[in-house]
């Protein structure tokens, strides 16, 4: 049931994935030692709710998962790290930065203890920690976290290309904020190349369309930004639904680009549409969740 739900989740069939996971939850509760199964299932319910834009529900599920991970013993430590990170991304997106930082610190400590400093799984937590620092304008600490994540990912560059792109973009933002325009342009160029390759391959997700559109906007290539965001909105509305918070995020960005090109009336209309969607969701969509499915399956087999 877990494997089926993960496939449905990956395909953005959120309602169906949730239904399967609720059945799995009922099955898990009947097990002689249910903690591990309950923790895993609650985490996945949280991830599905988060990606579907149901944030209060996601937080409830993640906190339930953490409680069960903590009761499942040493073999559950990696699962605990996973859910701590996922809850942190949710809280960070809702502005609860202090608690998010503490959760990320705990997640990172477990991952380093169990997998070592150089494991790619650690890089996701480092990236999230860097993002939290960036939001607080703690640029030195953000850059340190990003560069640590870069050092971890560099040996795995081919298989972790999308994470490299996100890191390059975020490093570019830090460099720009700290007056290093030339270095920022080099980082932006790397991110742009990876995301444009994804577009050409036909495998781009709504997040990639939005990231690339945002980068074009930073570079003041507004016509390219408009085109990519228009394409991304079609994909996002098809895959996520018209009222999904990610669609609102993309509409806000599209409205900003329209204002930059002088289309103020259209920008106002688009922004109004985005605000209506945002009022329904009440929070922004968190972006960096860990789906350590393979890693946790290794733990289940032990």
pLDDT at position 295 is 41
Task: Please state whether the predicted TM-score (pTM) of the whole model is above 0.75.
Answer: yes
Reference 12, options 255, 238, 272; nearest CA is: 238
Cβ(145)–Cβ(121) below 8 Å: no
Q: To the nearest whole percent, how much of the chain has pLDDT over 70? A: 92
Question: Which DSSP letter does residue 117 get?
Answer: T
Residues of the chain with CATH 1.25.40.10: 101-202, 204-288
Q: In whole angstroms, give the CA distance from residue 302 to residue 227.
A: 49
pLDDT at position 285 is 42
Cβ(232)–Cβ(250) below 8 Å: yes
pLDDT band at 117 (very low <50, low <70, confident <90, very high): confident
Which CATH superfamily, name and number, covers 204-288? Tetratricopeptide repeat domain (1.25.40.10)
Give 186-192 contacts, CB < 8 A, sequence gap 24+: 188/215, 188/218, 188/219, 190/164, 190/165, 191/165, 191/166, 191/215, 192/219
Whether residue 286 has pLDDT greater than 50: no
CATH architecture, domain 101-202: Alpha Horseshoe (1.25)
Q: To the nearest whole percent, how much of the chain has pLDDT over 90? A: 54
pLDDT (mean) for 210-216: 95
> Any idea which of 3-17, 234-248, 280-294 has the lowest mean pLDDT?
280-294
């Amino acid at each position: 049931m877990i494997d089926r739900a993960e496939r449905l989740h990956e395909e953005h069939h959120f309602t169906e994935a949730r239904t399967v996971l609720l059945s799995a939850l009922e099955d898990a509760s009947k097990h002689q030692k249910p903690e591990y199964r309950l923790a895993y299932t609650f985490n996945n319910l949280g991830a599905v709710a988060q990606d579907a834009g149901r944030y209060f529900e996601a937080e409830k599920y993640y906190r339930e998962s953490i409680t069960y991970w903590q009761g499942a013993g040493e073999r559950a430590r990696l699962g605990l790290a996973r859910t701590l990170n996922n809850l942190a991304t949710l809280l960070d997106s809702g502005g609860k930065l202090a608690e998010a930082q503490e959760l990320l610190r705990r997640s990172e400590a477990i991952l380093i203890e169990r997998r070592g400093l150089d494991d790619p799984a650690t890089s996701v937590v480092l990236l999230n920690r860097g993002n939290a620092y960036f939001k607080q304008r703690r640029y030195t600490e953000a850059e340190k976290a990003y560069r640590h994540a870069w050092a971890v990912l560099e040996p795995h560059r081919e298989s972790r290309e999308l994470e490299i792109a996100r890191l390059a973009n975020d490093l570019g933002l830090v460099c720009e904020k700290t007056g290093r325009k030339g270095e920022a342009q080099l980082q932006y160029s790397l991110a742009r190349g990876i995301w444009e390759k994804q577009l050409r391959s036909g495998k781009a997700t709504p997040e990639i369309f939005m990231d690339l559109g945002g980068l074009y906007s930073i570079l003041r290539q507004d016509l390219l930004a408009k085109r990519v965001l228009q394409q991304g909105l079609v994909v996002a509305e098809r895959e996520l639904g018209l009222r999904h918070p990610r669609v609102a995020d993309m509409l806000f960005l599209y409205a900003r680009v329209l204002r930059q090109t002088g289309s103020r009336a259209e920008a106002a209309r688009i922004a109004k549409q985005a605000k209506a969607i945002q009022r329904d969701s009440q929070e922004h969509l968190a972006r960096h969740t860990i789906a350590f499915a393979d890693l946790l399956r290794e733990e289940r087999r032990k």
